[in-house]
Each structure stands twice: as structure tokens, then as C-alpha cells.
């Protein structure tokens, strides 16, 4: 029995199947974690999401920014973009079960067995593990409420507030939480979010740092796995941090991390 964490699929169903074949994955015994951005940009978003839904009892998922974007479009809070590839999912009423399933997925998942926390993009340096999971629950509870989520999606897009405060309330609070979990790469040295700079570390301005270089409140023996940052090319692979978005949809690879052994397996889109 093995548990694998997989980087951003982004609608590349064939790549996922190739990776599972290479892993000799067994749905009866093994389990999968997914770091978000299950859909969009790749041409097989519907096939990908339907496959994951069919195996939902054996997987753990956190939502990424592309997943939330699709849900916002499905709610009429945002328009479909030129490069979006999920229209088939939201156009057909028979796919509503997939949308409803996504509403129930968290922004953070923790396993004490594996001492591993999974998010799509980042965590706040000011949050303990308990608060990280509680903040994830705040968004999930909102998504599961049909009235509250409509208001949430209308207010979801935006870069402020850029600093955590326990007194944040309403959509400002939910937007900050969402931006940390699903959009963050760099922060200022005082901890404020910088959400526009997407290059690899080393090319960034001196007043910024990668989010994982901050002193984190979460215990040092907890491993953090995340996706989102394809420019890292998966080169961050330490006992503490595992970056799993290796850019399959952009011509790179799709990567799986064995949570017990630390071994990585990948397939190339080329």
C-alpha cells in the first residue's frame, strides 16, 4: 500500500493515466493526493475531473486557483476566459455532481500518519497547523452554502488585504485566506503578500522572498507539499518542502511523490 501526492494535472488526463501506469498504481490498495489545479489549460478537463470523482473514496484533493475559477464561472460571478478549457464541465447539467463535489473539497489537507500538510500554493507564516486547517474550513464551509458562496465568488478576485490579521472579517478575510492557499509565491520581508511576480527564485526583487523562506509557525517536523509554482521546476525537494508542480501542461513533467519513501516518479509531456 502506497500513498502518492501528485502535482498540478490541469486537465492533462492522458498524462495522469501514464503516471499511474508507471507507478503500477493499484486502486484497491494505493491512495492519491492531488495538489490542486485539477483542471484548465489542458484539453481533457472533463475526463480528468470525472475520473477523479469516480475514484473519490481513494483520493484527497485540495482546490487550486484554476478549480476555484471554474466554480466562480459556474456561479456566474466571472466570465469564461479565452484559454479556459472547462466549459464542457459547466455547460452540461449532468456534470453538476462534479461541481458539487468540488465545493466540498478543502484548501488544506493534513495527515498525521504521514506528518504531511498539502496545499496548492502556500501557507501563512502566522498560522499554526490548527489555524491553517481552520482557515481552510472557513472557505469550505462557505462553498458548501449556496447563498454564501455566491457572495464569496463575486468578491474572490483581488489582491487585498495583503496582510493577515485575526480581526479580518467577511469577504476580506476569505479573500486573504484564498490568496494564501491558492495564489502565493512570493512575500515581502514583512510578510505581506505579493501576488503578481511569478518567476523562479533568483530573478525576484530584493524586497521579496519565496514564501517558504519565511520562519513558519508550523512545526518543523511537518512536511509541506504544494503545487502551483511551475517555475520552480520541482527543484525544491527537501525534508521540509516538496514542490510538485513540474509544468506538464507547459511541456514539462507530471510528478508523484511517495509520501512514505520520498521517492519521486514522473512522466514527460514530450
What gap in Å lies between CA 114 and CA 250, rounded to an integer? Answer: 30
What gap in Å lies between CA 148 and CA 150, rounded to an integer? Answer: 6
**Residue 145 grid coordinates:** 452554502
Per-residue pLDDT reduced to its tens digit, 93-130? 999 999 999 999 999 999 999 999 999 999 999 999 99
Mean pLDDT computed over 202-230: 96
What gap in Å lies between CA 225 and CA 223, rounded to an integer? Answer: 7
The per-residue pLDDT for 35 is 98
Per-residue pLDDT reduced to its tens digit, 38-89? 999 999 999 999 999 999 999 999 999 999 999 999 999 999 999 999 999 9
The per-residue pLDDT for 101 is 98
Per-residue pLDDT reduced to its tens digit, 221-252? 999 999 999 999 999 999 999 999 999 999 99
Whether pLDDT at 203 is above 90? no
Structural domains of the chain ordered from first start: 3-268 (3.60.21.10)
**What number of CA atoms fall less than 13 Å from residue 106's CA on the CB side?**
16
The per-residue pLDDT for 108 is 98
Per-residue pLDDT reduced to its tens digit, 132-158? 999 999 999 999 999 999 999 999 999
Whether pLDDT at 270 is above 90? no
Mean pLDDT computed over 175-189: 98
Start-end of H helices in the chain:
13-23, 45-54, 65-74, 87-91, 96-103, 129-143, 146-155, 170-183
Strand segments, DSSP code E, in 120-263 are 186-188, 193-194, 208-210, 223-226, 241-243, 253-258
Mean pLDDT computed over 4-19: 98
The per-residue pLDDT for 254 is 98
**Residue 220 grid coordinates:** 518543523
Amino acid at each position: 500500500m502506497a500513498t502518492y501526492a501528485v502535482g498540478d494535472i490541469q486537465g492533462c488526463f492522458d498524462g495522469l493515466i501514464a503516471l499511474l501506469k508507471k507507478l503500477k498504481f493499484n486502486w484497491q490498495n494505493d491512495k492519491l493526493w492531488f495538489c490542486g489545479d485539477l483542471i484548465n489549460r489542458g484539453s481533457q478537463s472533463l475526463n480528468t475531473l470525472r475520473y477523479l470523482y469516480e475514484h473519490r473514496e481513494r483520493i484527497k484533493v485540495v482546490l487550486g486557483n484554476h478549480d476555484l475559477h471554474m466554480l466562480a464561472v459556474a456561479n456566474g460571478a466571472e466570465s469564461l476566459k479565452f484559454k479556459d478549457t472547462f466549459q464542457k464541465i459547466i455547460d452540461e447539467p449532468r456534470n453538476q455532481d462534479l461541481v458539487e463535489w468540488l465545493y466540498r473539497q478543502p484548501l488544506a489537507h493534513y495527515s498525521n500518519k504521514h506528518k504531511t500538510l498539502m496545499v496548492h500554493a502556500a501557507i501563512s507564516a502566522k498560522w499554526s497547523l490548527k489555524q491553517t486547517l481552520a482557515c481552510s474550513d472557513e472557505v469550505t464551509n462557505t462553498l458548501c452554502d449556496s447563498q454564501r458562496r455566491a457572495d464569496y465568488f463575486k468578491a474572490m478576485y483581488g489582491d487585498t488585504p495583503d496582510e493577515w490579521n485575526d480581526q479580518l472579517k467577511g469577504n476580506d478575510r476569505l479573500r486573504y485566506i484564498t490568496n494564501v492557499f491558492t495564489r502565493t509565491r512570493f512575500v515581502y520581508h514583512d510578510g505581506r503578500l505579493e501576488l503578481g511576480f511569478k518567476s523562479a527564485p533568483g530573478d525576484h526583487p530584493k524586497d521579496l522572498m519565496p514564501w517558504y523562506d519565511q520562519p513558519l509557525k508550523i512545526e518543523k517536523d511537518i512536511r509541506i507539499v504544494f503545487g502551483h509554482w511551475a517555475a520552480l521546476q520541482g527543484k525544491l525537494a527537501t525534508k521540509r518542502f516538496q514542490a510538485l508542480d513540474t509544468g506538464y501542461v507547459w511541456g514539462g513533467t507530471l510528478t508523484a511523490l511517495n509520501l512514505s519513501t520520498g521517492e519521486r516518479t514522473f512522466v514527460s509531456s514530450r
